[in-house]
Amino acid sequence: MTTTTPGTTGPAVARPARRRRPGVAVGCGVLALVLAVLAGIWVGALPLPPGAVVVTLADRVLSVFGGHLSGGLAETQAAVLLELRLPRVVLASLVGAGLAVAGAAYQGVFRNPLADPYLLGAAAGAGLGATLVIAYSPVQSVGPVGIVPLAAFVGALLGVGAALLLGTATGGSHSPTLLLAGIAVAAFLAAAQTLVQQRNTDDLRRIYGWLIGQLGSSQWSDVVLVLPYLGVSCAVLLCCGRALDVLAVGDDEATSLGVHPGRLRLLVIVAASLATASAVAVSGLIGFVGLVVPHIVRRFVGGSHTLVLPLSLLVGGAFLVLADLIARVLVAPAELPIGVVTAFVGAPFFAGLLWAGARRR
């Protein structure tokens, strides 16, 4: 290795060099996610003994191979674990991971720290789709799939699609035009959603409940529903880290480095929007995660997307599992809306980070 050891020779005013080993950072992220998931499983309205939880889970895994372990949870407790808590924790981690990695990708592709996964009309489209079917749909599901997740998913993709069409038709893939097109589409869809909502005040409670986000009714079928889309889109985004680093120097310079900024941006936006649409479909509009988790991650590992993207994925998953945990236990047996908790917990935490960062300088 010929890399020079940095930091020691620079003047004292320089901030410490951000060159911690990537493996360590990713390891910490994995650890955070694992701990959050374990806490999410153990803690709840019905306390489950941690040892018995582990035994029960191990027994389930072993039973696939014909093995058996005794000393697990009683039947009701096992049902709570396997049918209520586990799918909820898994879904929370998937949704959090998807929103955070999509947020990091949006921020990178628009070179805009205020970008979030809902920027291009995904949220407004999903909101309109969900509101329409809650208000007017005669059926509750299409086959095994609930009509609300389906409408939200389609609405989110249509919203982003409209923004992309409008943006590229008016200004190529130049990012400020695309942003403005997204704002126009989002405003239009949000207005339509409000109109439908106002004309159907009987459904207001359900619509509102969906809009602020919820994980309370999570089932394994939700996990199965989103996993393929989230898996594919997150895999694409994680591969785009280096490409986003090149894009960070601006379109002209990226072109001079042999890259096609327009195509790259389109690929990243489509992948991030697919992740957002699938997350929104099963959980509603959970705010804050996609905006702030990437910033929290950058505070620790610097700006390179090769680290920011995978760590946003891990930290986003852990963050939403913990937020959901708080939503469940704080006013148990009632629940707080998860979207309220993410902002309520996340905002002071982020403010603290900003403050600490300012002092360190």
| Sign of the four-CA dihedral 89, 92, 94, 100 | negative
Q: Which of 46, 62, 257, 331 binds other proteins (CB under 8 A)?
A: 257
Cα–Cα distance measured from residue 174 to residue 253, given in angstroms and rounded to the nearest whole number: 14
Q: Which residues contact 10 (CB under 8 A, 6 or more apart)?
A: 17
Cα–Cα distance measured from residue 81 to residue 340, given in angstroms and rounded to the nearest whole number: 25
Output the furthest CA–CA distance in the chain (Å, rounded): 70
Q: Which of 5, 70, 140, 198 binds other proteins (CB under 8 A)?
A: 5
Stretch that binds other proteins, among 149-157, 160-168, 189-197, 295-303 (CB under 8 A): 295-303
Q: Please, what is the minimum distance in Å from the beta carbon of residue 312 to other proteins?
A: 14
Q: Please, what is the minimum distance in Å from the beta carbon of residue 289 to other proteins?
A: 21
Interface pattern 14-43 for other proteins (x via CB under 8 A): xx-xxx------------------------
Q: Please, what is the minimum distance in Å from the beta carbon of residue 252 to other proteins?
A: 5
CB 87 within 8 A of CB 220: yes
Q: Which of 2, 70, 140, 198 binds other proteins (CB under 8 A)?
A: 2
Q: Which of 172, 256, 347, 352 binds other proteins (CB under 8 A)?
A: 256
| Sign of the four-CA dihedral 179, 185, 188, 193 | negative
Nearer to other proteins, 26 or 212 (CB): 26
Q: Please, what is the minimum distance in Å from the beta carbon of residue 276 to other proteins?
A: 23
Nearer to other proteins, 221 or 256 (CB): 256
- Residue 233: closest CA among 295, 175, 281: 281
CB 51 within 8 A of CB 327: no
Take residue 255 and report the two structure tokens written for it.
């072109």
Cα–Cα distance measured from residue 98 to residue 234, given in angstroms and rounded to the nearest whole number: 7
**Residue 85 interacts with other proteins (CB under 8 A): yes or no:** no
Single-letter amino acid code for the residue at 212 = I
Nearer to other proteins, 3 or 198 (CB): 3
CA distances to 61, 101, 122 from 255, in Å: 50, 25, 29
Q: Which of 79, 201, 255, 332 binds other proteins (CB under 8 A)?
A: 255
Nearer to other proteins, 18 or 206 (CB): 18
**Residue 9 interacts with other proteins (CB under 8 A): yes or no:** yes
Residues 301-340 touching other proteins, rule: CB under 8 A, are 302-304
**Residue 354 interacts with other proteins (CB under 8 A): yes or no:** no
Residues that bind other proteins (rule: CB under 8 A) add up to a total of: 38
Q: Which of 85, 88, 265, 298 binds other proteins (CB under 8 A)?
A: 298
Residues 125-154 touching other proteins, rule: CB under 8 A, are none
Packing angle, helices 220-239 and 86-110, rounded to 10: 30
Residues 194-253 touching other proteins, rule: CB under 8 A, are 239-240, 242-243, 245-246, 248-253
Packing angle, helices 338-360 and 289-301, rounded to 10: 30
Q: Which residues contact 118 (CB under 8 A, 6 or more apart)?
A: 124, 186, 276, 285, 287, 290
Query: What residues line the site for other proteins (CB under 8 A)?
Result: 1-7, 9-10, 13-15, 17-19, 111, 239-240, 242-243, 245-246, 248-253, 255-260, 298, 302-304
